[in-house]
Chains A and B, each alone.
Chain A
Amino acid sequence: MGGKIGELEAEKHVQYILLVEKRKDDFESVVTEHLRMNGAYWGLTTLDLLGKLEIVDQDEVVSWVMECQHESGGFGGNIGHDPHIVHTLSAVQVLALFDKLNVLDIDKITNYIAGLQNVDGSFSGDMWGEIDTRFSYIAICCLSLLQCLDKINVEKAVNYIVSCKNLDGGFGCTPGAESHAGQIFCCVGALALTGSLHHVDKDLLGWWLCERQVKSGGLNGRPEKLPDVCYSWWVLSSLIMIDRAHWIDKDKLIKFIIDCQDRENGGISDRPDDAVDVFHTYFGVAGLSLLEYPGVKAVDPAYALPVHVVNRIFFSR
């Protein structure tokens, strides 16, 4: 097939996302209803990156989001679902896309998140106490967007993340756990947002990350695993945050992502010729954004939101 990079089927992906959001007859939609908040974030952020967010009815989305909030201040994955830190971040991100953070009771939501921090600085996902560095990132990202980082013990949060650093320079979900690109994104993102990147050995981690690129040009998440489009986000955003993105072969990665598209029906899959889903569609488009693919808006590697959205939060008072 040669090295020629094909086209991004932007219009097809937009239609795919709109279709998924409106589908009435789909079992897959049914079994993912409990994580609709995440799905809304993936779909809507993709639409914004492709310049098509205005197609969506903002008021409908915002009122649905707010119906997912609980007394505790946390958000569930859909109406009638229990609160969890994961959906709380997605809710804030969706509201940020529409410049509607002002509908939030800031104290209520930030108290919920702060209440999930543990004595050792780690964060639980919800009242049941699951601990994972993913939740550290989520808490820090969410509070940072709401400009309330001082509600948690940042120093302890950072110390916990550092305790999850491994000898290869990477990070796992808990101390001693294997380095994994998804966990690395969370830890590096959290350290970036708290001004703590000096804890990262950028050269060592940068090398581990660029070693994720395999022959096909795609990225895997751990040594000797298969490439997956979602790592185009987690590996690349991490590399960008530590200023080492030029260590991968960008053209080959672009080609890999482009090849993961379903050119007929829209959507992007984990690897070429597999079934598409909204999750991989988002990470493929976000990856292309980081690679400065034409026609895709810039995305912030730490907040995982379009740069114009982040700027609007921090630079317009």
Chain B
Amino acid sequence: MEWKEEGEERPLSQRPEWSDVTPVPQDDGPNPVVPIAYKDDFTETMDYFRAVYFADERSLRSLHVTAEAIHMNAGNYTVWHFRRLILGALNADLHEELNFIKKVANGNPKNYQIWHHRRWVAEKLGSDATSKELDFTKKILSLDAKNYHAWSHRQWVLQELGGWEDELDYCKQLLEDDIFNNSAWNQRYFVITKSPFLGGLEAMRESEVNYTVGAIIAKPENESPWRYLRGLYKDDAQSWVNDPQVSSVCLTVLSAKRNTVFALSTLLDLLCHGFQPSQDFINAVDALKTPDLDQSDSNLATAVCSVLGHMDPMRVNYWAWRKNKLPAQTA
């Protein structure tokens, strides 16, 4: 195992520095509900862990045994708990601890305990840790760009420690790698609304609309940019309805007749908010109707619902419900 230091291949029971300790076996109670047997070296490590844990021995050798236990089983939160107590008692170098966590995280990138421990350490280091934390999360995200823990940690770092300068660029880069990455779209929204270096949502709106429209045209079947576009007009539905770029991107996608589901549902939402469609929209939707559909739908919104029910049969009940709930004056 590459993480083991030189000379530590001997079992704990044979190492002189542990000769004064009596290992403590797992207590499963008198009639164990879940009696289990252990693999030998794991058993031994955990027995020694329990010995120092129950004795509350907060020493360097205790720290080492928690490292061994963690490498074998990073999910054991009691081991992490005791490790934190030891780190505190030893006044340990927390920058070294960041290195330790990095090694463990490589094999366990979705483990709650590791991320929580990392946050605890970073909190103690404060802004000294900022660039390390941004680098660390970037590394994890380079292996899995949607790792929920990594994003949660990164958001915390930005809000508590700073480092916003390059975040919008980072989102842009991730979206270039994968325009479908919903986490990156979420982060983009987070940045434009919260970064102290940008002007806030309204100031960023125009450039963001341009960016998003480009993403939609590239992949109209991508759920994220459609939702993002709506999000740019948070609390201001009227501006969203009135922005010609919004309706125009719908028309562009509809006219191309491919991957039109989100364009149709966006058009439906626009119509429900009072959008007045030109003949172009009516023609575009007409062109998507199949012969078996009711050709006599009285208005565009009803027609859109019918087309959607046909195109997206998995959600046929949802589109039928939308049709029933159309406001009276919808075009």
Binding site for B on A (CB under 8 A): 21-27, 29-36, 39-40, 57, 60-61, 63-64, 67, 76-77, 79-82, 84, 125-126, 128-130, 166-168, 172-174, 176-180, 206-207, 210-211, 213, 215, 222-225, 246-249, 252
Contact residues in A for B222 (Cβ distance below 8 Å): 224
Contact residues in A for B194 (Cβ distance below 8 Å): 176
How big is chain B's contact interface, by range?
Answer: 35 or more
Measured CB to CB, the closest approach of chain B to A162, in angstroms, equals 15
CA distance A168 to B189 in the complex (A): 12
Contact residues in B for A39 (Cβ distance below 8 Å): 34
Tell whether, in the assembled complex, residue A130 and residue B75 are in contact, meaning their CB atoms are under 8 Å apart. Answer: no
* 10 A-B pairs with least C-beta separation: A178-B186, A167-B231, A247-B318, A223-B182, A34-B76, A223-B223, A224-B180, A130-B116, A64-B33, A81-B78
Contact residues in B for A167 (Cβ distance below 8 Å): 189, 227, 230-231, 234
Chain A to chain B contacts (Cβ below 8 Å), 15 pairs: A21-B33, A27-B42, A30-B39, A31-B42, A34-B73, A128-B81, A167-B189, A167-B234, A172-B152, A176-B155, A176-B190, A177-B151, A178-B182, A207-B318, A213-B315
- Extra inter-chain contacts (16) besides given A34-B76, A57-B31, CB under 8 Å: A24-B35, A24-B36, A33-B36, A34-B73, A63-B31, A64-B29, A79-B26, A80-B27, A80-B78, A81-B78, A177-B151, A177-B186, A210-B318, A213-B315, A222-B182, A249-B314
Tell whether, in the assembled complex, residue A63 and residue B190 are in contact, meaning their CB atoms are under 8 Å apart. Answer: no
Contact residues in B for A77 (Cβ distance below 8 Å): 77-78
Interface residue B3 (Cβ < 8 Å from any Cβ of A): no
Contact residues in B for A61 (Cβ distance below 8 Å): 33
Tell whether, in the assembled complex, residue A177 and residue B33 are in contact, meaning their CB atoms are under 8 Å apart. Answer: no
Tell whether, in the assembled complex, residue A76 and residue B39 are in contact, meaning their CB atoms are under 8 Å apart. Answer: no
Tell whether, in the assembled complex, residue A211 and residue B183 are in contact, meaning their CB atoms are under 8 Å apart. Answer: no
B183 closest partner in A (C-beta): A178
Interface of B is mostly: helix
| 8 Å CB interface, B98-116 against A | 112, 116
Interface of A is mostly: loop
Measured CB to CB, the closest approach of chain A to B120, in angstroms, equals 6
Contact residues in A for B73 (Cβ distance below 8 Å): 30-31, 34
CA distance A64 to B84 in the complex (A): 27
| 8 Å CB interface, B80-129 against A | 81, 84, 112, 116, 119-120
Contact residues in B for A64 (Cβ distance below 8 Å): 28-29, 32-33
Measured CB to CB, the closest approach of chain A to B12, in angstroms, equals 17
Interface residue B37 (Cβ < 8 Å from any Cβ of A): yes
Contact residues in B for A81 (Cβ distance below 8 Å): 77-78
Tell whether, in the assembled complex, residue A168 and residue B36 are in contact, meaning their CB atoms are under 8 Å apart. Answer: no
Tell whether, in the assembled complex, residue B39 and residue A248 are in contact, meaning their CB atoms are under 8 Å apart. Answer: no
